[in-house]
């Protein structure tokens, strides 16, 4: 899986970090960033992406299909 964050539009709510804390971390600017593309299980990462209130986390599979 590939994870991308549109950081410009991240509002820094911390939800993704709370749900998959080995994958997402808050940076010094208060935005989430991916620190390990496979830090959590696929299920946890997908749930974290779905939890984003502004839907700025995109997850795609190895064929670039959006999940």
Which residues of the shown chain bind ligand SF4 in the complex (CB under 6 A)?
5, 10-16, 32, 51-54, 56-57
Q: How far is the CB of 34 from ligand SF4 (least distance, A)?
A: 10
The CA dihedral of 1, 35, 45, 29, to the nearest 10 degrees, is -130
- Report the residue number, 11 or 38, with the smaller CB distance to ligand SF4: 11
- Report the residue number, 27 or 41, with the smaller CB distance to ligand SF4: 27
Alpha carbons 27 and 12: distance in angstroms, whole number? 9
Alpha carbons 43 and 29: distance in angstroms, whole number? 27
- Report the residue number, 53 or 63, with the smaller CB distance to ligand SF4: 53
């Amino acid at each position: 899986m590939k994870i991308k964050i549109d950081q410009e539009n991240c509002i820094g709510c911390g939800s993704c970090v709370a749900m998959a804390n080995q994958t997402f971390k808050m940076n010094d600017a208060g935005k989430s960033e991916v620190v390990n593309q496979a830090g959590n299980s696929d299920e946890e990462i997908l749930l974290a992406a779905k939890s984003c209130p502004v839907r700025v986390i995109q997850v795609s599979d190895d064929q670039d299909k959006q999940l």
